[in-house]
Chains A and B, each alone.
Chain A
Amino acid sequence: MGPVLEVGMRRLIALGLMALLVGCGSPSPDGTQPWSQKILDQGLSLLKPKAPEPAPEPEVFTRASVTEGQTGPVILVSAPKLEAKASLNMIQENGPTRTYISDDGIALLLQNGLLAGSRGFGDDLMSSDHAAAHRAILKGSGQYERVLRYINSQNQLEAVPLTCGLTDHGAETVTILGHKHRVTRRVEICDLAGRQIENTFWISGKTIWKSQQWVSDRVGSLTIEQVR
């Protein structure tokens, strides 16, 4: 699935570029634009389906390997329960929401570093309200409620309410692919229908450099590191 999605993505980016170029021109009265048509043709040739390239899966993640060819933000995500690790690149920023995507079609939606949704796992987090959590993380303490939403087997959204408390665990240093960050560790413990889930945030100023955030029973917790 990965290469297929990637080709689609590349095509869209190319299309965006093409539309940008065409948008600069003005239509002649008869509606034809010889010069812009040429650019269109060039743009379209970019969009022709190409043979899917094998996605090289780096065994070892280095700063160079995960940022190669990327200009935007990059996160490194590991899912211990699924025994998977991947780098995800930001492909879109819409208001506070950043969408990161992996080569094999896994996406995370992060808002200020907090998980607002996941896609592509199956048992995905569809949405989350975490405004109160975000305030508490910045402040270092807080008691609040939040709601996670999931799709159940009957295609319906199910709201899961959480009661959470956040505490500060002092200063630490985290190292993300060779870069050291001086951070404060803040731990959120939430009650989910009688059991506990734990999310941890390593924060410096307003930036969450590293976090462990719970997605769902099947996916477990994700470790998310902000590489760039």
Chain B
Amino acid sequence: MKLFWAALSGVLCTAHISFAEPRVTYNAYGMPGLVDMPSAQSAPDAELSFSVSQSGKSLRNTLTFQIAPRLTGAFRYSSIERPTQTLYDRSFDLRYRLLDETQLRPAVAVGLQDFIGTGVYSGEYVAASKTFGPVVATAGIGWGRLGSHNSFDNPLGLISSRFDTRDAGFTGTGGRIESARWFRGPAAFFAGFAWPVTDKVTLKAEYSSDAYTQEVAAGHFEHRSPFNLALDYQIKPTVQLTAYAQHGDEIGILASLTSNPKHSPGGATRDPAPMPVLPRAKAQVAPAGWSEIPSLRSALITALTPVLRQDGIQLIRLSLTDTIAIATVENHRYQSQPQAIGHVARLLSNVLPASVDTIAVVPMVKGIAGSQVIFPRDALETHEATATGASDMRAATIVTDAAAVDHRSAAAEGAFPQFSWSFGPDVSASLFDPDNPVALSLGAKLTAEWVPARGVYVTGTLRQNIVDNYTSTPRYSDSIITHVRSDSTFYDRADGPVLQDLTANYRFRPGTNLYGRFSAGYLERMYGGLSAELLWKPVDSKFGLGFEVSAVRQRSFDGLGFAPLTVTTAGLGAPRSYDTITGHLSGYYAFDDGLHAQVDVGRYLAKDWGMSVQLNREFNNGWKVGAYATLTDISFDDFGEGSFDKGIVMEIPTSWSIGRPSRVNRSVVIRPLLRDGGAKLDLSDRLYDLVRDTHVPQLEAQWGRFWR
């Protein structure tokens, strides 16, 4: 296992210096390349692109991510019209650039196209690309679909005769990694070039090794010529429009939008200037024992509270001695905790008597105090405006566990109870239903939160659907195991205002390095019950270990009660009852360079036992892009289409797109197929993400904002 992680981080984190920076354009599969053929190029690191290409009777929607400088990944959802019915297909691609281009040598990449799934587009390739002035020339050899025109015997057959033949079709219910088919069967050459005619226009031509056997058989077109031609127009650096002509018989169009989590469209967020430090020499001199005067303590709290509130920071508590001040706060505005901590420290320097020589800030996230950040007051003055002020300040700062912080001192006046609510539009999407690939619902959502005391949160969400594009009859799940998730469409379609969740949570610190949570209520849209979680996470560690157990019962479609209807392919049946105990042991690890891993082992909703692995690439501005897979003791055949649960996760910080400070993130989970095996309870605010926001690795990653 250790070796696996080491190898993986080696693959993902290899530094590179490319020889030249030719323009990278996307092909009709949404990968960097020519017209239909791949190239050995990679997109700029971390580039995300969404491409739509339409050519004749096939439509491809591709989400592509430059996972690491050398590694490109793509997920594609395609529709291909067939004489009897339209085929909807999900496919995944990977490309790894083995060699960088040098003066004499081309860049070389190896790629797998449609390597998980039903294999409609499956093919493998080795491609080489070399720049000649502005022109990028590519040549390569393809297998599978990419070795179907003008093919020859597989040269790998010299190594083993196993490479000579390639099985058709796919294994079982699809969705598996078809490594037994890779690089097998006949091979063929492809070649082409991309010539940037002007700053915005690129002409691409290729000799394709794809015979389009399936499309020709389905009568989409005739394969008259292996030559394809494309003209790219770069409307903006982030928008590419392409028109292409294929196989002498068809015209296609392609649009691709790109974005890069590394570069926010508006640059750094525009934050109002912070309060400057008041030097201690100018601070008030108070007589010994001042911190024991209740009226003065409460006056300080009363004065600080509104000023902090205007800065989006809530003062929960202020503990004082004559020499030490500890402010417990919750930051509701800044994505970066060090920025909020820096604001609090500076404000405190403005009001605390000169005898206070140590200032500590305890940043809380949803009632959990994860760390105590301690500064010598002098350091604040010394490093406020020096050239290396941020790193000098970090060196002078001590971060400790906050479990020992005295929470008995009086809460800031008005800190509790808190009540907040919000009301607004809400869009929910469910993807990939063959009858309705993009099912959208626009609704209104009311969310309320009541915090009667520190750590106690009662939250609820009510949603009313207003308009949707749902089909008149839903698709009845054909899952042969208990329908723990696959009936979700009936939950989406429920009439009237729906109580999506209503939960009481208590979050607390059982001891040093330990965090706890109890939850009860309607925990999520489909389940209600009780849940408990314990997390071990030292403040300066990159590793965390958690355990969670929940006793839940499946909710009714309309949200009230616990009697969902039985769903079979024949239709709806009698109400049923389902309860289970589910839980996981979870390990978390934050690698350097932003790679983040989570492994869960335990029991899933359908009483299946197994393991999930999730890998995310995380950016310091809050962006996350990752993928996960779950394997349980439910067989691939019982699982049904797709064989096992897997998906892509993305989290996009609002501050990144609006250019203003905000702690709101938008999460997107793309599951090619939502079925019943390997399904987890969808709990919000699990401990790990709340806790690590204020722990040393995360604080260090964002420390540059301390003086912001």
B216 at the interface (CB under 8 A from A): no
Q: Which residue of B lies closest to A34 (CB)?
A: B295
- Of A16, A121, A123, A149, the residue contacting B350 (CB under 8 A) is A16
Known: A105-B273, A122-B268, A128-B387. Is A8-B707 also a contact (CB below 8 A)?
Answer: no
B277 at the interface (CB under 8 A from A): yes
Could you tell me which B residues sit within 8 Å of A by CB distance?
262-264, 266-279, 284-287, 289-290, 292-296, 299, 302-303, 306-307, 310-311, 335-336, 347, 350-351, 353, 381, 384-391, 619-621, 656, 659, 701-702, 704-705, 707-708
Known: A23-B287, A92-B278. Is A121-B295 also a contact (CB below 8 A)?
Answer: no
A91 at the interface (CB under 8 A from B): yes
A135 at the interface (CB under 8 A from B): no
Distance between Cα atoms of A40 and B300 in the complex (Å): 10
State whether B307 touches A8 (Cβ < 8 A): yes
Known: A153-B267, A155-B701, A218-B267. Is A12-B275 also a contact (CB below 8 A)?
Answer: yes
Q: Which residue of A lies closest to B269 (CB)?
A: A122
**Minimum distance in angstroms from B251 CB to a CB of chain A:** 38
Distance between Cα atoms of A4 and B312 in the complex (Å): 12
Distance between Cα atoms of A40 and B621 in the complex (Å): 42
Please indicate the chain A residues that have their CB under 8 angstroms from the CB of B702 in the complex: 155
- Which 6 A-B residue pairings sit nearest by Cβ, starting from the closest? A107-B273, A129-B387, A105-B272, A122-B270, A119-B273, A157-B704
- Of B267, B302, B306, B701, the residue contacting A122 (CB under 8 A) is B267
State whether B273 touches A23 (Cβ < 8 A): no
- A sample of 5 cross-chain residue pairs with beta-carbon separation below 8 angstroms, ordered by A number, consists of A8-B275, A37-B295, A44-B303, A92-B278, A94-B384
State whether A23 touches B353 (Cβ < 8 A): yes
Please indicate the chain B residues that have their CB under 8 angstroms from the CB of A18 in the complex: 299, 303
Q: Which residue of A lies closest to B286 (CB)?
A: A23
Q: Which residue of A lies closest to B390 (CB)?
A: A157
Please indicate the chain A residues that have their CB under 8 angstroms from the CB of B293 in the complex: 27, 31, 33
State whether A119 touches B381 (Cβ < 8 A): no
Contact with B along A1-32 (1 / 0, CB 8 A): 10011011101100110111011011100011
Distance between Cα atoms of A120 and B369 in the complex (Å): 29
Known: A5-B272, A16-B284, A27-B287. Is A40-B296 also a contact (CB below 8 A)?
Answer: yes
Contact with B along A97-140 (1 / 0, CB 8 A): 10101000111010100001101111110111100000000000
Distance between Cα atoms of A117 and B276 in the complex (Å): 12
A162 at the interface (CB under 8 A from B): no
Q: Which residue of B lies closest to A116 (CB)?
A: B385
**Minimum distance in angstroms from A124 CB to a CB of chain B:** 7
Known: A11-B306, A12-B275, A120-B272. Is A44-B299 also a contact (CB below 8 A)?
Answer: yes
Of the listed residues A23, A121, A151, the one surrounded by the most CB atoms of chain B closer than 10 A to its CB is A151
A71 at the interface (CB under 8 A from B): no
State whether B336 touches A155 (Cβ < 8 A): yes
- Of A26, A43, A122, A129, the residue contacting B266 (CB under 8 A) is A122
Distance between Cα atoms of A107 and B274 in the complex (Å): 8
**Dominant SS at the B interface?**
loop
Please indicate the chain A residues that have their CB under 8 angstroms from the CB of B387 in the complex: 127-129, 147, 149
**Minimum distance in angstroms from A80 CB to a CB of chain B:** 19
Q: Which residue of B lies closest to A109 (CB)?
A: B385
A36 at the interface (CB under 8 A from B): yes
Please indicate the chain B residues that have their CB under 8 angstroms from the CB of A32 in the complex: 295
**Minimum distance in angstroms from B233 CB to a CB of chain A:** 27
* Beta-carbon contacts under 8 Å, A207-224 to B: 218
Given A31-B294, A117-B385, 6 other A-B residues pairs in contact with their CB atoms under 8 A: A5-B273, A95-B279, A121-B270, A122-B268, A126-B708, A147-B387
State whether B351 touches A19 (Cβ < 8 A): yes
Of the listed residues A26, A40, A129, A218, the one surrounded by the most CB atoms of chain B closer than 10 A to its CB is A40
State whether B286 touches A153 (Cβ < 8 A): no
Distance between Cα atoms of A50 and B217 in the complex (Å): 77
- Of A9, A93, A111, A126, the residue contacting B707 (CB under 8 A) is A126
Distance between Cα atoms of A127 and B302 in the complex (Å): 34
**Minimum distance in angstroms from B294 CB to a CB of chain A:** 6
Distance between Cα atoms of A116 and B385 in the complex (Å): 7
**Minimum distance in angstroms from A211 CB to a CB of chain B:** 17
Please indicate the chain B residues that have their CB under 8 angstroms from the CB of A107 in the complex: 273-274, 276
Please indicate the chain B residues that have their CB under 8 angstroms from the CB of A5 in the complex: 272-273, 310
**Minimum distance in angstroms from B389 CB to a CB of chain A:** 5
Please indicate the chain B residues that have their CB under 8 angstroms from the CB of A19 in the complex: 284, 286, 351, 353
State whether B295 touches A155 (Cβ < 8 A): no
A176 at the interface (CB under 8 A from B): no
Of the listed residues B307, B347, B351, B381, the one surrounded by the most CB atoms of chain A closer than 10 A to its CB is B307
Distance between Cα atoms of A95 and B295 in the complex (Å): 33
State whether B303 touches A20 (Cβ < 8 A): no
**Minimum distance in angstroms from A217 CB to a CB of chain B:** 8
State whether B620 touches A155 (Cβ < 8 A): yes
**Minimum distance in angstroms from A123 CB to a CB of chain B:** 5
- Of A47, A92, A105, the residue contacting B276 (CB under 8 A) is A92
* Beta-carbon contacts under 8 Å, A156-183 to B: 156-157
Please indicate the chain B residues that have their CB under 8 angstroms from the CB of A70 in the complex: none
**Dominant SS at the A interface?**
mixed
Q: Which residue of B lies closest to A47 (CB)?
A: B303
A49 at the interface (CB under 8 A from B): yes
**Minimum distance in angstroms from B241 CB to a CB of chain A:** 26
Please indicate the chain B residues that have their CB under 8 angstroms from the CB of A4 in the complex: 310
State whether B705 touches A155 (Cβ < 8 A): yes
Of the listed residues B276, B286, B388, the one surrounded by the most CB atoms of chain A closer than 10 A to its CB is B276
**Minimum distance in angstroms from A99 CB to a CB of chain B:** 4
Known: A4-B310, A26-B287, A94-B277. Is A151-B620 also a contact (CB below 8 A)?
Answer: no
Known: A101-B273, A127-B385. Is A151-B353 also a contact (CB below 8 A)?
Answer: no
Please indicate the chain B residues that have their CB under 8 angstroms from the CB of A119 in the complex: 271-274, 708
Please indicate the chain A residues that have their CB under 8 angstroms from the CB of B704 in the complex: 126, 151, 155-157
Please indicate the chain A residues that have their CB under 8 angstroms from the CB of B388 in the complex: 127, 129
Of the listed residues B278, B289, B336, the one surrounded by the most CB atoms of chain A closer than 10 A to its CB is B278
State whether B303 touches A36 (Cβ < 8 A): no
State whether B299 touches A49 (Cβ < 8 A): no
**Minimum distance in angstroms from B706 CB to a CB of chain A:** 10
Distance between Cα atoms of A15 and B705 in the complex (Å): 27
State whether B273 touches A120 (Cβ < 8 A): yes
State whether A94 touches B381 (Cβ < 8 A): yes
**Minimum distance in angstroms from B519 CB to a CB of chain A:** 32
Please indicate the chain B residues that have their CB under 8 angstroms from the CB of A101 in the complex: 273
Distance between Cα atoms of A18 and B302 in the complex (Å): 13
Please indicate the chain B residues that have their CB under 8 angstroms from the CB of A94 in the complex: 276-279, 381, 384-385
State whether B707 touches A31 (Cβ < 8 A): no
Please indicate the chain A residues that have their CB under 8 angstroms from the CB of B278 in the complex: 16, 92, 94
Distance between Cα atoms of A126 and B336 in the complex (Å): 16
**Minimum distance in angstroms from B53 CB to a CB of chain A:** 29
State whether A31 touches B303 (Cβ < 8 A): no
Distance between Cα atoms of A109 and B704 in the complex (Å): 17
Distance between Cα atoms of A31 and B296 in the complex (Å): 10
State whether A154 touches B296 (Cβ < 8 A): no
Known: A36-B295, A101-B273, A157-B704. Is A23-B620 also a contact (CB below 8 A)?
Answer: no
Please indicate the chain A residues that have their CB under 8 angstroms from the CB of B389 in the complex: 127
Q: Which residue of B lies closest to A88 (CB)?
A: B273
State whether A8 touches B310 (Cβ < 8 A): yes
Distance between Cα atoms of A32 and B296 in the complex (Å): 10
- Of B268, B289, B336, the residue contacting A27 (CB under 8 A) is B289
Please indicate the chain A residues that have their CB under 8 angstroms from the CB of B310 in the complex: 4-5, 7-8
**Minimum distance in angstroms from A33 CB to a CB of chain B:** 7
Of the listed residues A7, A129, A154, the one surrounded by the most CB atoms of chain B closer than 10 A to its CB is A154
Please indicate the chain B residues that have their CB under 8 angstroms from the CB of A47 in the complex: 302-303, 306
State whether A151 touches B705 (Cβ < 8 A): yes
Contact with B along A62-100 (1 / 0, CB 8 A): 000000000000000000000000000001111101010
Q: Which residue of B lies closest to A124 (CB)?
A: B268
Please indicate the chain B residues that have their CB under 8 angstroms from the CB of A25 in the complex: 287
